Amino acid sequence: MSVYSILPLPSGPTPSDTIIHRYKSLRLLALQTDPRNFGSTYEQELMRTPEVWRGRIVSRSPWPDRENITFVAALPSAESGGTNGGQMVDILEDETREWVGMVGVLAPNHEGVDKNAILSFLERDKEMMDIKEKLHLVVCTTVHPDHRGRGVGKRLMEYAVKWIEDRCKALGEEGVAVLAVRMTNTNAIGLYESVGFKFWGTEKDSTVGSGEMAYRWMYRHVV
């Protein structure tokens, strides 16, 4: 059995400062260790106000219309060695339980999802246009370098996809997960393919940029 617990961050309006700090630290670490793999930079993110970090965690709408989720992978407590027991928030705030990975999902009703921007270079793809209002954007996938290759990324992705599935079924809607990945990021492409994602359309239509920084969109029909 995996030692890693996969936990959702609380969606309420007041996540604790500890949770916000831990979320921010893991995101900044990812941008430092793998700067080429993400759209934003460490320097940009470092300038974000506490309200911006808080806004990435909270949801304005309750389930099932909730517009975002972040899952984190946490290690057992170094002190107790245990993985079970305790309230979710207590576990998330327990700094003896290191966070070693995360993934986020922005649902179609999230104001940060600029569907027109996503679609602007895929407009020749009719299938994509038809499911414009169903796009769930998977973001910020990362696993701490010391914990890679142990299935953490795959479990995080499985939780993200299941969340999309449950949300869409509860709303009685179709759902599609999409994400952007650098063409050079073979580890991440392997991860996404291992959980059923495919590249969207032709390379010409769905590639943005060129050289090392070129990225492509991947998708998976969930419901």
Ligand X SMILES: CC(C)(COP(=O)(O)OP(=O)(O)OC[C@H]1O[C@@H](n2cnc3c(N)ncnc32)[C@H](O)[C@@H]1OP(=O)(O)O)[C@@H](O)C(=O)NCCC(=O)NCCS
Binding region for ligand X (CB under 6 A) = 30, 34, 37, 141-143, 148-154, 181, 185, 187-188, 190-191, 194
Nearer to ligand X, 9 or 191 (CB): 191
Query: Helix 152-171 crosses helix 186-194 at what angle (to 10 degrees)?
Result: 50
Nearer to ligand X, 3 or 170 (CB): 3
Nearer to ligand X, 12 or 35 (CB): 35
Rounded distance between C-alpha atoms, residue 55 and residue 24, angstroms: 12
- Minimum distance from residue 150 beta carbon to ligand X (Å): 5
Residues β-bridged to residue 181: 216
- Minimum distance from residue 34 beta carbon to ligand X (Å): 4
- Minimum distance from residue 206 beta carbon to ligand X (Å): 15
Nearer to ligand X, 38 or 163 (CB): 38
- Minimum distance from residue 126 beta carbon to ligand X (Å): 26
Is residue 70 within 8 Å of 9, Cβ to Cβ?
Answer: yes
Is residue 121 within 8 Å of 104, Cβ to Cβ?
Answer: no
Rounded distance between C-alpha atoms, residue 215 and residue 209, angstroms: 7
Nearer to ligand X, 68 or 142 (CB): 142
Rounded distance between C-alpha atoms, residue 127 and residue 174, angstroms: 13
- Minimum distance from residue 39 beta carbon to ligand X (Å): 9
By the 10 Å C-beta count (0-12 exposed, 13-18 middle, 19+ buried), 156 is classed as buried
By the 10 Å C-beta count (0-12 exposed, 13-18 middle, 19+ buried), 151 is classed as middle
